[in-house]
Amino acid sequence: MRPVLRVMLVDDHGFVRSAIRQALTAPDIEVVGEAPSAEEALRIAPELRPDVVLIDIDLPGMSGLQLLRLLAPKLPETKIIMLTVSAQHRDLVEAVRYGAAGYLTKDLTPEALLRSVRGARDGSLPMPRKLAAEVMAHLARTGGRGAVPAAGQPLPHLTERETEILRMISDGLTDRETATALNISIRTVETHVSNVLHKLAVRSRSDAARLYRDQGAGQGTEPGAAAD
């Protein structure tokens, strides 16, 4: 017999999590954890190391896409699938670029959800054909241009940690959310933010975020700089 597929749910609505859990009731699947927020998911997912994580995009505080961006590098063996009401093109493309293994909308049937979760383990793409075609068309049209910078890809003159902080500023995270995500103090985050603004010669977080997006997180890390 195959090992039980361990699944984690991230959704801020308890009744939605309950419905998903019910849909996944099967001898070969076990829901091993649930989180009502991205911050809670970041705390427990690395400990649980589930085989599959189902994430809603619309979460309080940090969004599901921001969570995906932070969680994917921490759990390289885990299949992260977005399960959301949003079928917006931007959400779909960003999810794929950030490392989602699939993208499902909440109007699918319980049977389809069960098949999709099982299929993720076997390397299938849990995504409706229409959305998959939309992603392929986008990639073909853009030729990969404008791709989201890979995690850890630094800007000139910034340390790896400062680049990570800048990426979170660009994603719209507050200092408190950044501190929680990186497991460091708010004071440390504030120091990094101040250093980033100084090094980039900008006066505001929004200016720094705009520069990050415009430059696409260029190359080169300050030699010998510490991560924290």
Amino acid making up residue 48: L
Element (H, E) at 201: none
Tokens linked to 155: 């800007």
| pLDDT at residue 7, as a whole number | 97
Q: What's 167's domain CATH number?
A: 1.10.10.10
CA–CA gap between residue 141 and residue 45 (Å, rounded): 35
| pLDDT at residue 43, as a whole number | 93
Phi then psi dihedrals of residue 16, to 5 deg: -70, -45
Residues 130 and 200 in one domain: no
| pLDDT at residue 94, as a whole number | 83
| pLDDT at residue 111, as a whole number | 93
Residues 179 and 137 in one domain: no
Q: Is the Cα dihedral 75, 214, 166, 104 positive or negative? A: negative
Q: What's 103's domain CATH number?
A: 3.40.50.2300
pTM metric for this prediction: 0.65
Task: Note whether residue 184 is domain-resident.
Answer: yes
| pLDDT at residue 228, as a whole number | 54
User: What 8-state DSSP symbol labels residue 36?
Assistant: S
Residues 129 and 169 in one domain: no
Helix %, strand %, coil % for the chain, to 5?
50, 15, 40
Instruction: For the chain, state the CA radius of gyration.
Output: 18
CA–CA gap between residue 44 and residue 75 (Å, rounded): 12
CA–CA gap between residue 15 and residue 133 (Å, rounded): 32
Task: Note whether residue 71 is domain-resident.
Answer: yes
Helix (H, G, I), strand (E, B) or coil at 164: helix
Residues 31 and 117 in one domain: yes
Mean pLDDT in consecutive groups of 10 residues from the start of the chain, 228 residues: 90 94 94 95 95 93 87 91 85 84 90 91 80 73 49 60 87 87 89 84 78 57 44
Residues 178 and 116 in one domain: no
* Domain span including residue 131: 5-142
**Domain-ending residue, one of 142, 177, 192:** 142
Using the structure block, give the residue that is written with the tokens 């779909």. Answer: 92
